Structures are given as C-alpha cells and as structure tokens.
C-alpha cells in the first residue's frame, strides 16, 4: 500500500474515532448527570413520610410538570418548611445535582434574599418572603428505565429537569431572579446575587461602537419583564438586534463570556456539552439585543438568541433593582419535543 494511502486511512480513522468519541461523550455526560440525579432523588424520597410523599410525588404525565413560575404563589410539592434537618440536607443535595457550583451558590444566595426582602417591605408586604418556601416535586419514578422529571421552585427560582432512558434530555426552563438585585443597606450591603450576569451584559453593549450599538439597541425603553415569562413553550423571537457575524474578535469573546456565565448555572458535564454544541453550530448565528439604558442603574433588558436557545435578562422593576433572567430551549423545554422523538423512534407497549 502506498505511504500516502496509509496516511490518509490513518487520518480518516482518527477523524471517525473523534466523531464517535464526541457523540459518546455527550451521551455519557448526560447519563452520568442523570444517574446522580436519580440516586439523590431516591435518597430524598426514602427519607420522606407518607404525607410528604403525597405532596411531592406525581405521575410523569401530570400537567403540573409544566406549571412553572417564578413569582411568590401557592405551589404543589413539598416545601423545605415541612422537612426536618436530615430531609433538608437530602433535598439540597438533590438540588445540587441539577446545578453547577456557580449555579448552586447563586440559588442559595437567591433564597437567602427572602429575609432581606421581608425587612425591606415591612409588615404590609403582599407575600410571606420565606426562604423555606421552596418546593420539591418529582414526576414519575427516578430510574434509567422510564421517563421521569423533577422541579425545585419558589420565589425567583425555577429548575426543571427531564430524564429519559437514563439520560438527562432537558434542564430548562432555568430561571433565576434577584430582589433586590443589589442589597443597598444593612449587614449584607453590596451583595449582588446576579451581578455578573448584569455586568457581562453591559460589558458587551458598551464594547460596541456607535453604529453597532444603534443596531443592537432595539428600544429605548426596556420591557417590564422577560418576554417569554412563564409560557409553557418558548417560541423563537424575531432576531432583532445585532448578529454576532457583525462583531469583531474581542466582541465575540465578550458574547461567549456572557453565554458561559449562564452555562455555569448548569452541571459541568451539561454545560460542557452545550458549549461544544453551540460553538460547533457557530457563533455567527447568534443575535444580541438590548433595550433601555446602558448605564448602571438604568432600567434595561437584553437577550441572546441562538438557533435553539434563548437567554433573557430584565432589570426594570423596583427602580431597576429587581432582576429576572432565564434560559429557554425552543425545542427542549421540559423535554417535550425530545420526548416525542423518543416515543416515535422507540417501540412501546400499548
């Protein structure tokens, strides 16, 4: 065999192996995360009494799985308030499996702001502002055999997960909010639970030149909330703003840094897989849009939209000191479309 032919075969073989490995790593990463979730879920369930199980366990098909929200309201599930010390520890260990280190720290900080908000609002507040009113719900039986899902939710946190055949197929909608966005008085003065998301968004808009900024800013007034709100399905928004194809190298780096901040909320394996997928699709297909002022303290909103995902950030309420932020997947929220593909491709007993 000619030397060049041998080299070509070796190169093609390495390329094929790398493609196979990439595919396997993706599946393995999501299976590893799902296995950790199932193990933690089953430990949590085993520690619950009958009444607590009745509150927290639902059928996978229950419509409650899609009823997500981020405002203070009555919720299904078992709240931290109803758990003893050991059960709370297991609940938080369970929650930790759905988040990266940064995401878990942010979630804890958001929860800890409830007493701060209670103090700010005083006795006439419209909601209890209780850091123990975060609810845990499990849909289906946590295992590698059948589909199951889970949610942790309360004021300014909504974490939603779907597992099919032992693989995490969805970890969205993923919502974090913060009120106050910045604690401005008291012993925790200066605390900003989601300050990095705000700062990195502003880093990008201020790095644009005048012409680019005029394109990126879609409105002088920011919307009152994230556009997708708590809609069960997030549809792609019209790609207003500036395309990443119009950004220079440094500006693209800032866009990637901003996206990475949201990915850091997710488990490391999931974040790495998503990052690789988005980079492979190409940053030029991503759009960045801004509304409102660009100075710190101005009411403002931004969004990052790719072909398959949407990031929204809004800081307008309470004199621009109240943040809502979310990651949505157009075809992946609650695993609905992916689950449909699974059932269409896999025989099931009728």
**Under a CB-based contact definition with an 8 Å cutoff, are residues 246 and 215 in contact?**
yes
Per-residue model confidence as pLDDT tens digits over 317-331: 999 999 999 999 999
- Between 15 and 45, residue with greater pLDDT: 45
Q: How far apart are the C-alpha atoms of 130 and 112, rounded to whole Å? A: 9
Among left, alpha and beta (phi > 0; psi -120 to 50; other), residue 128 is alpha
Task: State percent of the chain over pLDDT 70.
Answer: 89
pLDDT, tens only, 261-273: 999 999 999 999 9
How confident is the model over 21-30, as pLDDT tens digits?
Answer: 333 346 788 8
Per-residue model confidence (pLDDT) at position 29:
83
Residue 28: the pLDDT is 85
Mean pLDDT over all residues of the chain?
91
Q: What is the pLDDT of residues 305-314, one digit of tens each?
A: 999 999 999 9
pLDDT at 349 over 90: no
Please say if the pLDDT value at position 240 is more than 70. yes
The pLDDT, as a whole number, for residue 2 is: 44
pTM passes above 0.85: yes
Q: Which SS3 state, helix, strand or coil, does residue 216 take?
A: helix
What DSSP assignment string belongs to 54-77?
HHHEE-TT-GGGG----SS---SS
Higher-pLDDT residue of 339, 198: 198
The per-residue pLDDT for range 62-72, each reduced to its tens digit, is: 999 999 999 99
Task: Give the percent of the chain with pLDDT over 90.
Answer: 83
Among 77-81, 104-108, 336-340, the least confident range:
336-340
82 vs 344, higher pLDDT? 82
What confidence tens digit (pLDDT) does each residue in 141-178 have? Answer: 999 999 999 999 999 999 999 999 999 999 999 999 99
Q: What confidence category does residue 238 fall into, taking pLDDT thresholds of 50, 70 and 90?
A: confident
Residue 348 has pLDDT above 90, yes or no: no
Give dist(CA 260, CA 267) in Å, integer.
Answer: 12
pLDDT for residue 235 is more than 50: yes
Predicted pLDDT of residue 208: 99
The beta strand positions in the chain, using DSSP E, are: 57-58, 78-79, 135-139, 148-154, 157-164, 167-170, 174-178, 217-219, 242-243, 287-292, 300-305, 309-315, 323-329
pLDDT in tens, 246-264: 999 999 999 999 999 999 9
**In DSSP terms, which residues pair with 313 in a beta bridge?**
302, 325
Q: Which of 103-112, 117-126, 276-285 has the highest mean pLDDT?
A: 103-112
């Amino acid at each position: 065999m000619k030397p060049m032919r041998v080299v070509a075969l070796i190169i093609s073989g390495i390329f094929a192996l790398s493609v196979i490995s990439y595919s396997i790593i993706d599946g393995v990463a999501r299976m590893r995360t799902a296995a950790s979730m199932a193990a933690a879920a089953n430990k949590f369930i085993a520690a619950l009494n009958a009444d607590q199980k009745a509150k927290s366990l639902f059928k996978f098909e229950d419509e409650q799985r899609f009823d997500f929200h981020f405002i203070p309201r009555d919720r299904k599930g078992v709240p931290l308030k109803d758990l003893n010390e050991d059960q709370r520890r297991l609940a938080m260990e369970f929650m930790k499996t759905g988040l990266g280190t940064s995401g878990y720290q942010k979630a804890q900080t958001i929860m800890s702001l409830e007493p701060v908000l209670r103090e700010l609002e005083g006795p006439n507040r419209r909601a209890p502002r209780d850091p123990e009113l975060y609810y845990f719900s499990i849909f289906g039986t946590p295992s590698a055999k059948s589909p199951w899902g889970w949610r942790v939710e309360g004021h300014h946190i909504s974490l939603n997960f779907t597992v099919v055949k032992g693989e995490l197929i969805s970890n969205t909608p993923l919502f974090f909010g913060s009120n106050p966005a910045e604690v401005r008085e008291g012993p925790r003065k200066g605390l900003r639970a989601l300050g990095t998301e705000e700062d990195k968004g502003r880093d990008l808009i201020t790095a644009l030149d005048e012409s680019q900024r005029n394109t990126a800013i879609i409105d002088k007034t920011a919307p009152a909330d994230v556009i997708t709100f708590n809609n069960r399905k997030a549809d792609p928004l019209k790609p207003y703003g500036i395309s990443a194809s119009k950004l220079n190298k440094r500006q693209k780096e800032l866009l990637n840094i901003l996206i990475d901040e949201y990915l850091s909320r997710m488990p490391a394996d999931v974040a790495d897989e998503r990052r690789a997928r988005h980079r492979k699709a190409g940053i030029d297909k991503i759009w960045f849009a801004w509304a409102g002022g660009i100075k710190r303290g101005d009411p403002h909103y931004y969004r990052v939209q790719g072909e398959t995902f949407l990031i929204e950030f809004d800081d307008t309420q309470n004199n621009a000191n109240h943040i809502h932020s979310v990651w949505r997947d157009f075809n992946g929220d609650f695993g609905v479309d992916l689950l449909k593909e699974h059932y269409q491709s896999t025989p099931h007993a009728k």
